[in-house]
Amino acid sequence: MLRLLRITAVGGTTIAVAGCVVLVALANDRWVDVDLHPWLAWIVGEQPREAWLPAILAGWLISVLLAGSLLLWSTFYVWRRRQYESLIVRLERELVELRNLPFTEPAPLEDLPEQPDLETARLLAPAGLDADDRIHRAAKPFGTSSHSRSVRPDDQTMGRPGAGMGEDA
């Protein structure tokens, strides 16, 4: 509703101003002598000039409207820019909170599945090494070989606790 009132007010004001300008131009529809400042005489010469009064009025009106629209646009631009910068700061604060979420509010253990998923285990298992091989390889000194065995857990041992980790079950 307010938007409609604002549009109506701006439109009505614009039409009223344009009507007044047209009435002034029609009442003063004549040619007038224009005297130039002596500093500008070197550009156009010393001869007298005549100008149509409605054209002079229209030129002044257009220049005032352009200056006003430039001022309004620049204030709107500054306002929108401040809004965008405020939004970015707010989103950065929220992002920091979300990055720290696992530390401030960790997931409860009951959310984890009771039995491991076989497909996920196959995808996460690196190139045929089980967890026992990775632990032994990490514990060996630098420069020694860690490829003592390469056992991939099969479907029968994945469901049992402790099975498939290098132990004979």
pLDDT at position 46 is 78
**Range with the poorest average pLDDT among 21-30, 83-92, 151-160:** 151-160
Q: Which residues pair with 31 in a beta bridge?
A: 52
Q: How many CB atoms lie within 10 A of CB 111?
A: 7
Give the integer Cα–Cα distance in Å for 65 and 14.
11
Q: What percent of the chain has pLDDT over 70?
A: 69
pLDDT at position 76 is 94
pLDDT at position 150 is 46
Contact 56, 76 (CB under 8 A): no
Q: Taking the model in full, what pTM does it have?
A: 0.41
Q: In which band, very low, low, confident or very high, does the pLDDT at 126 lie, cut at 50, 70 and 90?
A: low
* Tens of pLDDT, residues 82-106: 999 999 999 999 998 888 877 777 7
In 2-158, the DSSP E strands lie at 31-34, 49-52
Dihedral (CA of 97, 98, 99, 100) sign: positive
Whether 38 shows a pLDDT value over 50: the answer reads: yes
Contact 140, 146 (CB under 8 A): yes
Give the domain ranges of the chain: 12-104
Whether 155 shows a pLDDT value over 50: the answer reads: no
